[in-house]
């Protein structure tokens, strides 16, 4: 089990309290974006394309704390931009830890090793390091040779210093499931607590508009990746969300489950879509027309989204919301998801995106043996 019991207990009691209070819509994770500036220029990212005067703006620690208190979610994810470029990120993290929030600082880790001495290990603080696959795949995905090696140095140093560390991967079309499975072996060997993963979202503003996975391909890819799991792999995610990615569960999006706050305000309706901003969390919750979002709404911007920020809250609320859900979560935590069909998927030729990753040698297709 990758998530510590204390964190699971905090989330479980939070969900149960909300259910008993009769609240239908409540947040689980605040996506706190203190800045949009980044030190990478990834082709799959639609988050950071702004004029310089916008990229220079940052939330103050006080604005961050106010947002966290307004929202009340037990977990805070700090993406961006690159949070380690924020001049007061240590003060922000310390303030959140003091408030007993479980903080996931999402970083590309280019600066992690250098900045680590400024942070204090805590059960409330996790460095969630962006790694999209093995060295060549990651470097090509983030458009920076050497990015993987720097990130791994940061991970190893953080683990050595006693920090909680997870890796965070986003997958696009052309992903080779065998390579991803080998990547899981690599990161578990680094001593991380667990793996976080998600299919990419089709950002309108992303430079590359040709590699966003449709739902059918997402399910096939994740069935191949996540079936026949090795017991050494740990996932810092709800097992029910992983079953959703594999096509075993049908869920609707819970956009208010991971509300996003940034320099513009409270983002409607979710972390991924920018349909306007509210000044307060209350205004966001009460005035957003939630029925206009999610697959069932027919909104084309939501049609193919299976991203964790919308669907993991659904899975968590399902898991802690009923005995049946809780049992499924327990079963999923310890299952290896043995599946012969998925094993055969691993033997298919490695997929190719619209532009071949020419620097990567074609791996010889071979059935992978898992140690189930």
Partner 1 sequence: MTAEVQRYSLDQIEALELVPGSEHEKLEGWVPDVANEAELRDVLEKAFSYRGDVTITLKNGERVEAYVFNRHTGATLAESWVQYFAPNVPGKCKVSYTEIARLEFTGKDRAAGKHWEDWVKAYNERKAAGEKNIGLEPEALE
Q: Counting contacts by CB under 8 A, is residue 147 touching partner 1?
A: yes
Contact flags string 14-43 toward partner 1, x per CB under 8 A: -----------------------xxxxx-x
Give, rounded to a whole angstrom, the gap between the first and last alpha carbons of the chain.
Answer: 16
Neighbours of 69 (CB within 10 A): 11
CB of 289 to partner 1, least distance (A): 12
CB of 99 to partner 1, least distance (A): 26
CB of 147 to partner 1, least distance (A): 7
Q: Counting contacts by CB under 8 A, is residue 354 touching partner 1?
A: yes
Q: Which of 304, 309, 310, 315 binds partner 1 (CB under 8 A)?
A: 304
Segment near partner 1 (CB under 8 A), from 96-104, 224-232, 269-277, 312-320?
Answer: 269-277
Give the DSSP H or E segment for 128: strand 125-130
Contacts of 334 (CB under 8 A, 6+ apart): none
Range 176-205, binding partner 1 (CB under 8 A)? 202, 204-205
Residue closer to partner 1, measured from CB, 40 or 159: 40
**Beta sheet of 164-171, edge-to-edge order:** 194-199, 164-171, 125-130, 102-107, 75-78, 29-32, 260-262, 265-269, 274-278
CB of 214 to partner 1, least distance (A): 3
Residue closer to partner 1, measured from CB, 19 or 215: 215
Q: Which of 10, 49, 122, 333 binds partner 1 (CB under 8 A)?
A: 49
- Residue carrying the six token digits 């909300």: 18
Neighbours of 51 (CB within 10 A): 7
Q: Counting contacts by CB under 8 A, is residue 145 touching partner 1?
A: yes
Helix (H, G, I), strand (E, B) or coil at 98: helix
Residue closer to partner 1, measured from CB, 179 or 299: 299
| φ, ψ for residue 239, nearest 5 deg | -60, -25
Q: Which residues, in sequence order, are bridge partners of residue 196?
A: 168
Residue closer to partner 1, measured from CB, 10 or 297: 297
Residue 269: is the preceding peptide bond cis (ω within 30°)? Answer: yes
Residue closer to partner 1, measured from CB, 136 or 368: 136
Q: Count residues contacting partner 1 (CB under 8 A)?
A: 56
Give the DSSP H or E segment for 194: strand 194-199
Of 28, 74, 103, give the one whose Cα is nearest residue 311. Answer: 28
Range 209-228, binding partner 1 (CB under 8 A)? 209-217
CB of 311 to partner 1, least distance (A): 14
Q: Counting contacts by CB under 8 A, is residue 303 touching partner 1?
A: yes
Alpha-carbon dihedral sign for residues 270, 276, 280, 282: negative
* DSSP secondary structure letter of residue 296: G
List, as own/partner pairs, every contact residues 344-349 make where C-beta atoms lie below 8 angstroms and the sequence separation is at least 24, other chains included: 345/177, 345/220, 345/223, 345/224, 346/177, 346/178, 346/181, 346/224
Residue closer to partner 1, measured from CB, 1 or 41: 41
Structure tokens at 164: 């909680």
Q: Are 279 and 202 in contact (CB under 8 A)?
A: no
CB of 61 to partner 1, least distance (A): 16
Q: Which of 53, 291, 334, 369 binds partner 1 (CB under 8 A)?
A: 53
Q: Which of 124, 140, 183, 311 binds partner 1 (CB under 8 A)?
A: 140
In angstroms, the CA 118 to CA 95 distance is: 14
Segment near partner 1 (CB under 8 A), from 11-19, 58-66, 296-304, 318-326?
Answer: 296-304
Segment near partner 1 (CB under 8 A), from 26-34, 114-122, 229-237, 300-308?
Answer: 300-308
Torsion of CA 235, 240, 246, 250, to 10 degrees: -160
Q: Counting contacts by CB under 8 A, is residue 243 touching partner 1?
A: no
Q: Counting contacts by CB under 8 A, is residue 351 touching partner 1?
A: no
**What are the residues binding partner 1 (CB under 8 A)?**
37-41, 43, 46, 48-57, 140, 143-147, 173, 202, 204-205, 207-217, 263-265, 274, 276-277, 295-296, 298-300, 303-304, 354-356, 358-359
């Amino acid at each position: 089990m990758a998530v510590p019991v204390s964190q699971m207990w905090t989330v479980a009691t939070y969900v149960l309290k909300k259910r008993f209070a009769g609240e239908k819509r409540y947040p689980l994770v605040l996506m706190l974006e203190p800045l949009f500036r980044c030190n990478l220029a990834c082709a799959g990212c639609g988050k950071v394309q702004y004029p310089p005067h916008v990229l220079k703006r940052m939330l103050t620690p006080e604005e961050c704390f106010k947002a966290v208190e307004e929202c009340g979610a037990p977990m805070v994810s700090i993406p961006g931009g690159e949070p380690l470029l924020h001049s007061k990120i240590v003060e922000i993290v310390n303030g959140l830890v003091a408030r007993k929030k479980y903080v996931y600082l999402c970083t590309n880790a280019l600066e992690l090793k250098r900045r680590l001495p400024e942070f204090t290990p805590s059960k409330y603080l996790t460095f969630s390091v962006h790694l999209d696959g093995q060295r060549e795949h990651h470097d090509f995905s983030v458009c920076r040779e050497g990015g993987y090696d720097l990130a791994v140095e940061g991970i190893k140093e953080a683990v050595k210093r006693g920090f909680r560390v997870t890796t965070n991967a986003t997958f696009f079309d052309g992903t080779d499931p065998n390579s991803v499975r080998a990547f899981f072996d690599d990161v578990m060997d680094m001593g991380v607590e667990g793996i976080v993963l998600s299919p990419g979202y089709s950002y309108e503003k992303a430079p590359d508009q040709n590699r966003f996975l449709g739902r059918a391909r997402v399910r096939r890819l994740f069935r191949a990746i996540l079936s026949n799991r090795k017991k050494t792999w740990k996932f810092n995610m709800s097992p029910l969300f992983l079953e959703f990615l594999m096509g075993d569960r049908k869920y609707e999006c819970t956009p208010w489950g991971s509300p996003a706050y940034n320099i513009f305000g409270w983002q409607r309706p979710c972390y991924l879509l920018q349909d306007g901003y509210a000044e307060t969390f209350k205004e966001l919750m009460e005035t957003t027309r939630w029925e206009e979002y999610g697959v069932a709404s027919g909104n084309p911007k939501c049609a193919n989204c299976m991203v964790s920020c919308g669907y993991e809250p659904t899975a968590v609320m399902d898991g802690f919301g009923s005995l049946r859900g809780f049992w499924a979560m327990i079963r999923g935590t310890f299952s290896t998801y043995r599946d012969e069909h998925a094993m055969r998927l691993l033997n298919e030729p490695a997929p190719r995106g619209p532009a071949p990753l020419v620097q990567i040698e074609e791996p010889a297709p071979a059935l992978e043996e898992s140690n189930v």
